[in-house]
Amino acid sequence: MSDDDIRQDDAEDAVPRWYAIQCKGGESFRAAEHLGNQGYEIFHPVLEVQKKRRGKLEWVSEPLFPYYLFIRLDRLVSNWRPIRSTRGVLKLVTFGGGMPVPVGDALVATLRQHAQRDQDDTGHVYFRAGEAVEITEGPFKDLQAIFSSHKGEERAIVLLNMLHQQQRLEMPVTQLRRRD
């Protein structure tokens, strides 16, 4: 192995890469918080979903990958030791019992892009009563309506102004998006 090969390996080890962390059951939010408090760069993709609790629908954040999150580290400078003892962390994901294997930057970039798009996106599967929506498909495409209620998980009731009256219309929730 030549000096150039050693320098090349050192240069690659100094480049921060994303790694997967397996969290203890239901503790990915705790792990993300504690790792973030220690100064680590964390990516913990979450979804905003509506769940029924005590008879009421509530918005809650759920991990996109239950039990997992991503951490950005380099092999030379980053302090890897505190990670295992951080509350909520089970272990860094390894294959064959060896060193942790980096997750492709392109994969994490794509996940981050989708997470950002979901935050910015005006379309969302769940809506709140009274919210202004636009119909995106079907015979009423591009018309504005008011979301009234959910009818199961896949259908919605909207109020559409037709002939100077609000008409109740049932349609797939996927044909709706929030108005800008």
**Cβ contacts of 20 within 8 Å, gap of 6 or more:** 68, 69, 70, 92, 93, 100, 103
* Average pLDDT in the chain: 83
Top pLDDT among 125 and 31 is at: 31
Section 56-77 average pLDDT: 86
- Of the candidates 117, 154, 155, 149, the one whose C-alpha atom is nearest the C-alpha of residue 131 is 149
Section 33-40 average pLDDT: 95
pLDDT at 53: 76
Report pLDDT digits (tens) over 72-126: 999 888 889 999 999 999 999 998 878 888 999 999 998 888 777 655 543 445 6
Indicate the pTM of the whole model. 0.61
* b/e 22-47 (16+ beta carbons within 10 angstroms → b): bbeeebbbebbbbbeeeebebbbbbe
* Other CB atoms within 10 Å distance of the CB of residue 71: 27
Cα radius of gyration (the chain): 23
C-alpha distance from residue 163 to each of 160, 167, 180 (Å): 10, 9, 24
Top pLDDT among 15 and 57 is at: 15
pLDDT at 113: 83
Predicted confidence band of residue 11 (pLDDT cuts 50, 70, 90): low
Section 165-177 average pLDDT: 88
SS (H, E, C) 92-149: ECECCCCCECCECHHHHHHHHHHHHHHHHCCCCCCCCCCCEEEECCCCCCCCEEEEEE
Residues paired with 161 in a beta bridge: 166
Residues paired with 159 in a beta bridge: 146, 168
pLDDT at 51: 73
The amino acid sitting at 11 is: A
